[in-house]
Structure 1
Amino acid sequence: MSIDPILTEELLLGCQHLEVLDGYEQKQELYWYKELERWVLHFNVTESYINPESNISKMTQWYMLIDPLYPRGSIGVYPDKVNSVQESYPHQNDNIETDDYPWRWGRVCTDWDNSELDLLSDNEEFLDAKQRLFWHVQRLKLWLVSASNHTLMEPGDVFELPHIHYRNEDKVVFAEVTLHFDKWLNLSSRSGSVFLQKISKFPNIIFVSDFFNRKSEVIQEYDWGNEVSLNLEKQSYYGVWLLLKFQPIKNPWAYPKTFRELEVLCSSNKVDLWEEIYDLMHVFRDNDRNFILLGFPIPKIVGQENQIIQWITYEIPKLSKLVKKIKGFRKSKDMYFNIDRLNHLKPSKELNYLCTENWSKEAILSRGSLDLNSQQGRVFLIGAGALGSAIGELLCRTGVSQITVCDNDKLQIGNLSRHILGLDDLDEYKSVSLSKRINQNNLHIKSTGITNPFPDLSEEEIEEMDAHDVIIDTTGSDMVINQLNSFGWTLPKRFISVSLGFGAKRIFIFLSNKHPFPNETFFKYLQPWLVLEKQENEDISLPREGIGCYHPLFPARLDDIWTMAGLAIKEIEIWWPNMFGSNVFAVYEQQQINGMPTGVLLKQREVF
């Protein structure tokens, strides 16, 4: 049996400080809500600056749900079920009500941010016991004023879609990018069928795959990576799509809740919902799960032009079974439609929304992707050792579309101290395991592993290599460097060599747009550094003849390897966009003073 927590002095101090806030009135004593494990504060807010022409009253009631760890933990502010805001606004959760609680579930985002609010309030939340509750109620008052004046989303703010409370955990994902936008707008028809699939590895994710027009021609397909496209354990679904020219959002800011609301919204924009899609829904009579996808244009920034198509999804159960013609209905279409309108398409029936998200490369990699030209690149990675695996890992997370890994070594126990692969990959080919990991890191990448060493490849493997734009060597092998020059390439390539010095103190980066690989130029720049490396380490017994990073005993730690690999990626990023540009040789060196790291210096950078 759990014991209710004791009301702390910190929480009492926060409540006492609220008394000095103009317009605040506490309705009842703080109480503990056992089911939610939160303290509940019921209060009034009176705000004289509320727009009298709005649907928001000057006096509203609210509930604040407070974490028992206060002043740490979460704080949520919710409207009273009766005496408060009844509609949904921007920067607020869908303001639905349930029978279980005295408040609605339209939690206000009191930490929302726009230019107007910056001028009126401290933007950073106070976290001390005295100020934190005060800050949230003060922000609530400002939110109410902005909501009443319809200024919660101002030009220049990031565009925000309405919030929805979903009934189940399934999520529909699509992959729209800005380049698709004009294509959608120029379509001759605005409805058709859509193919979706769920794979066993992601049991709650439904991937949108192909859109078809009314002639069953593919008009849009999403190029998911190997992790999705090559998965054999799939479950297929079918649906219909409708592209709208308007945003299906009710004032002030909510999606329709019922079919009637959706119909009215469409009709007000001169769209007959059922005329557009009902004849395409015949497959809904055979399948237990069916989907309607509504697409509409949205901007990225409020006040700017629309840039991308957003989709929302309704799940529809199996429609009426085929029956004999019923007297009184002249057309079978009318018969079925009227039966469906009494059941699953009933006007008052609540829409069953599924969470629908844009999982395009543009959307999910926006924080760390390379430029668009680099994202389209196809990389043939020679070497899947400590450095090669780091380069492959970093490249796949920056949006490169295809990486083929070539290495004939298997993972040994000594590799684990600095390799991204783990115990599950022991005695497996590094190239295969690394390509598997790369696929798992990016839904849009296509990666495979080749277990033959370069250049001893089969005809099929050579043909596969020829389809790549950029060849990256991370082996530290002189033989591979020379083979890059002498190999019988059928198409021009761009070349990258990345290698580490002893202990990963230095990294040597060679970026070449010349074809074939200019091995003599490479050695001309690298040789003086190899001489220096040998002099610096002549008293150290190396695990093999020469300098390399692939031996299990090579004395370099993982943190050093990743530090240097990150610098290589930055050099590659600058060089990559211009395929007819300059060539680069760069050397970076880690610096220390009295054994303490002081950073990395660029020791040499030749552009030729």
Structure 2
Amino acid sequence: MPSDEITEAVAAIDERAGVTVLDDLYLDEERGRWVVKIRLRPDDLADHSEVPRETDWYLHLRDTFPAGSIGIYPADQDANTITATFAHQKLNVAGSEDTPWRKGDICVARYGHTLNQTGATGEPSTGTDRLCWHMDRALQWLRNAAQGELREPDEPFEIPAFNTADAQGPTLAFNESRESFDDWVDVYGQWGTVALYSVPTAEETYVTDVFTDDDGEVVYEPDWGGYIESEMDDAVCGAWALLDQVPIDPPWEAPETWRDLEDFFEETATDPYTLRANIKPVLEEESVKILLIGFPIPAQVGNEPELIYWQPSEIEEFKDPQDVGHRSTGQGQCRAARIVAGREQIRWLEANNWSHDQLIRRGHMDEWFLDRTIVLIGAGALGSMVAENLVRAGCQQLTIVDSDTYEIGNVSRHTLSLDDVGRNKATMLADRLQSVAPYVQAVDVDTAFPPSGEMPASISDAEVVIDCSASRVVRRALDRERWDHRVVFCSAAMGRRANRLFCFTAYSHTFPYTDYEEAFSLWRLQEQIEWDDETDAVPERIGCWHPASVIRTDRVMTWAGTVTRLLDNATGLTLGETDFTVLETSGDDEVPTVSEATPPFQDVTTWEAATSPVTVQVPEKCREAMFERCRQDHPCETGGILAGIDREDDPALLINAQEPPPDSIQEPTKFLRGTDKVEDWLRDARESLGIDYLGEWHYHPAAPPDISLDDRKAMNEIAADDGYDCPHPLLFIVGQDDTQEFAVNAYLFHRDNDYEQLYRMSDRPDDTGEAGTDGKTV
């Protein structure tokens, strides 16, 4: 049986305008979903050949509802359904034989620009409200689809859904960026060959290497990191063709057959059948026959293209022209391809852009660091984790310097593994870093710093030098070296218990050892005093006297992440300037102390009813906004709507006290709040911020904030009006006391025409039956 929350939510949407529940709920045991068939009939639906006036859908709810995803799939066999694929919809192909729905789940709940909304969607969390919210947005999705308004200018561009469901071939990884786009702008309509190399991943993956045109001239060669360069294996030759537009048919469908591709080649120097004939001798003997169809894409809808996207396809086989009655000449090859391939389904493959700027979009260091040559001295616990953070945060060129061997005892707090035991730390860490991301070039210097003899170029060319060795010898050596260019220096070390991090940064031609010593000397003394009894040390292992510090890896990770953050700050240093930061945390038996951001809405005044548990919080900013408007409009009355959130068991929270709409009537003894743009503002606030209408406020100039009969009548009408969807609206009245200072009274109205006064918590009357300032017993 479905849960009560599911049955109540489905019953609620059946009462929703434009939504009809057609069948009973049933459990799809194979997919673990509760399913119900519904019909959507939005009002004001524009005429569209692909969007019927009413459409049937299958609603999918997880057993964990109201948690979990909600699916909305078009019916498969019904006449009233959508069979095309639109933007913000998964590929809308037929479903499985045992399901009555198609696969085109519509996307109504995404963060961002979907359905013309920006910012957080404000999706409710409770069952009935959440499902009704999804239905309202599904109806809006249909309206937008019929009007061709699912894709709005400046919203993020979305790649059309290519049908890769039947793909048996490899996944393709390409490397295209804004910089590489310039290599392709003069090549639209052309074709050529591309070297493809297999790289070791869990799934079969090929990466693109050198692209050449049909004359054998190099068009583009991607810049891969060390891992890709060293692991390239099983080379095959592929082919490419570059279109001058995204291959998409209205409403938002990628081509499925070769005949569908014809229109997109019309403006180019070739057509898909000539292309197949040309690439046949290139691909025919390859174990996997891959053709890349490229096209330019923008970052936002309506903007200029800035990136080449490659959509790979696999050609199963090339037919011999004689098999379809044509000679094996060039013309015969083209005619044979037209006959055979015209009706052939395109076997699209999965693809991903592995370029540096795409892979770091989820978070990266200050851009200044991304292209810098970085030297890290000390590949121990802290150094290995700092290095890992650097490459995952987008840094591409690292040199690791360390002469130590990775030992079994290091596994407790290091990024290397058992495979690396007995090998040089710098060498193995460089190998690991290159395997982290395809853009990383890491080299090792497997000697102590400074190296004997001439300084390696990878060190002398460094623009950033990070010392994680905790060694005075290293710091003195850095002081003796001089770089011809300016360098960002960072020396980071943990305290002996790892309860402190010491991070010294400088911008200079050489490491300022004297400044470091001056800043660190007293801290060194403190550390020595705390470490004197060595109670925090244990033998490295039983049978060995050598002491080892007890430091957990989670503490090292905390400080490693902090070092990279402090490095970001170092970009603000001027030449010769230094910075010394000491951070401290609590003992090992406590949760580490972390500085906290000031929570929002802490400066609130709390109002509550005398006889009921009603509580409302008003931030100082919201209260001051009302007072400022009163000052501005004095001596006329003024006011506006109140918006915020009703937090069920927690106090309601006012977020916004709106100014009077422009069509409001404002006189010294009269105020009538207008309606111009109020509905639009509330809808936008609800969709983007998740806040709702909570009531009204207005001002009685030079008079007490007492409620009038007109106030009561207006608020009772609002409470009874379903359009406001607020059966218990608030009213805040601002008046003036004998000293002309602002005074406020607050009231809560009910749909039964009753109301009660709210009091500040500090002013609440002792007798709960005491009369309010208006004489009404609350």
TM-score by length of 2: 0.69
Per-residue deviation, residues 345-364 of structure 1 (Å, max 9, x unmatched): x2121111111221211111
Q: Which residue of 2 aligns with 1:160?
A: 158
Contact 2:167/2:347 (<8 A) preserved: no
CA–CA distance in 2 between the matches of 1:327 and 1:10? 66
* Letter aligned with residue 406 of structure 1: V
Distance 1:370 1:479 in 2: 29
Instruction: For residue 401 of structure 1, report the CA deviation from its aligned partner.
Output: 1.1
The structure-2 alpha-carbon separation of the partners of 1:327 and 1:90, relative to structure 1 and needing over 3 Å to count, comes to closer
* Aligned sequence identity (%): 27
1:378–1:470 CA contact under 8 A, matched in 2? yes
Query: What is the match of residue 76 of structure 1?
Result: 71
Q: Deviations over 1:142-172 (max 9, x none)?
A: 1100111111111231111112331236321
Distance between the aligned counterparts of 1:463 and 1:303, measured in 2? 46
- For 1:3, the equivalent position in structure 2 comes to none
Q: Does 1:527 align with 2:526?
A: no
Counterparts of 2:336 and 2:593 in 1: how far apart (Å)? 75
Q: Is 1:42–1:61's contact at 8 Å kept on the other side of the alignment? A: yes
Q: Which of 358, 363, 380 is matched with 1:363 structurally?
A: 358
Per-residue CA distance 1:45-80 (angstroms, 9 max, x = gap): 111221124531111111123323333333211111
State the one-letter code of the partner of 1:25.
T
**Across the two proteins, how many residue pairs are aligned to each other?**
583
Task: Give a deviation string over 1:482-538, Cα, whole Å, max 9, x none.
Answer: 222335878875533222233233333333443343333332333233233334544
How has the CA–CA distance of structure 1 residues 67 and 368 changed in structure 2, closer, same or farther, with 3 Å as cutoff? same
Q: CA deviation at 1:280?
A: 3.9
Q: How does 1:29-68 map to 2 (within 5 A)?
A: 29-68=24-63
What is the SS of the residue equivalent to 2:283? Answer: helix
Kindly state the Cα deviation for residue 395 of structure 1 after the two structures are TM-superposed. 0.6
Does 2:85 correspond to 1:88? Answer: yes
SS in structure 2 of the partner of residue 130 of structure 1: helix
Asked whether the equivalents of residues 374 and 577 of structure 1 are also in contact (C-alpha less than 8 Å), the reply is no
Structure 1 residues 598 and 283: CA distance shift in structure 2, 3 A = same
Query: How far 1:552 moved relative to its partner?
Result: 7.3
Distance in 1, Cα, partners of 2:424 & 2:198: 29
Residues 118 and 217 of structure 1: CA distance in aligned 2, closer, same or farther (over 3 Å): closer
- Taking a change above 3 Å as real, the CA distance of residues 491 and 302 of structure 1, as seen in their structure-2 partners, is closer
CA contact (8 A) 1:93 1:164 kept: no
Q: 1:522 to 1:189 in 2, by over 3 A?
A: farther
**Matching residue of 1:190:** 190
- Give me the whole-angstrom Cα distance separating, in 2, the residues matched to 1:121 and 1:500: 40
Q: How does 1:415-430 map to 2 (within 5 A)?
A: 415-430=410-425
Find the residue that maps to 2:379 and give its secondary structure: coil
How much does 1:540 deviate? Answer: 4.4
- Mapping 1:483-502, distance limit 5 Å: 483-487=477-481, 494-502=488-496
| In structure 1, distance between residues paired with 2:479 and 2:322 | 73
- The corresponding residue for 1:230 is 230
Larger radius of gyration: 2
Give the 5 Å matches for 1:539-550.
539-540=533-534
Per mean C-alpha deviation after superposition, the further-off stretch among 355-364 and 498-507 is 498-507
Contact 2:34 2:63 in 1 (8 A): yes
**Counterparts of 1:115 and 1:172 in 2: how far apart (Å)?**
29
Q: How far apart are 1:176 and its partner, in Å?
A: 1.2
Partner residue, 1:108: 106
- Higher relative contact order structure (alpha carbons within 8 Å, sequence separation ≥ 6): 1
CA shift, 1:123, in A, is: 2.7
Is contact 2:25-2:35 (8 Å) kept? yes
- 1:575 paired to 2:575: no
Counterpart check, 1:586 vs 2:585: no
Aligned-partner Cα distance in 1 for 2:176–2:167? 24
Deviations 1:362-409 (A, max 9, x none): 111112222444211222221111111121111111111122222222
75-84 or 517-526, larger mean C-alpha shift: 517-526
Shift of 1:112: 3.4
Query: Quick one: distance in 2 between partners of 1:87 and 1:328?
Result: 37
Question: Is structure 2 residue 318 aligned with structure 1 residue 319?
Answer: yes
CA contact (8 A) 1:404 1:450 kept: yes
Cα 1:530–1:34 change in 2 (3 A) is closer
Secondary structure, counterpart of 2:315 in structure 1: strand
User: Would you say the 8 A contact 1:172–1:355 is kept in 2?
Assistant: yes
Structure 1 length as normaliser, TM-score?
Answer: 0.86
| Matching residue within 423, 426, 432 for 1:431 | 426
Q: Aligned equivalents of 2:230 and 2:508: distance in 1?
A: 35
Residues 239, 281 of structure 1: 8 Å contact kept: no
Q: Please point out which of 470, 473, 476 is paired with 2:467.
A: 473
Q: Are residues 117 and 392 of structure 1, via their aligned partners in 2, closer, same or farther at CA, if it must alter by over 3 Å? A: same
Distance in structure 2 (CA, Å) of the matches to 1:597 and 1:348:
65
User: Matches of residues 244-393 of structure 1 in structure 2 within 5 Å?
Assistant: 244-267=243-266, 272-275=271-274, 278-320=277-319, 329=327, 332-343=329-340, 346-393=341-388
> Against the structure 1 CA distance between its residues 303 and 582, is the aligned structure 2 distance closer, same or farther, given a 3 Å change threshold?
farther
2:92 maps to a residue whose letter is N
Change (3 A) 1:328 1:202: closer
The equivalent position to 1:453 in structure 2, one of 419, 433, 448, is 448
Aligned residue identity for 2:594: G
The CA RMSD over aligned residues, in Å, is 3.3
Query: Unpaired runs of 5+ in structure 1?
Result: 1-5, 545-550, 602-608
* Larger mean Cα displacement after TM superposition, 535-544 or 309-318: 535-544
* Range with greater deviation from structure 2 (488-497 or 30-39): 488-497
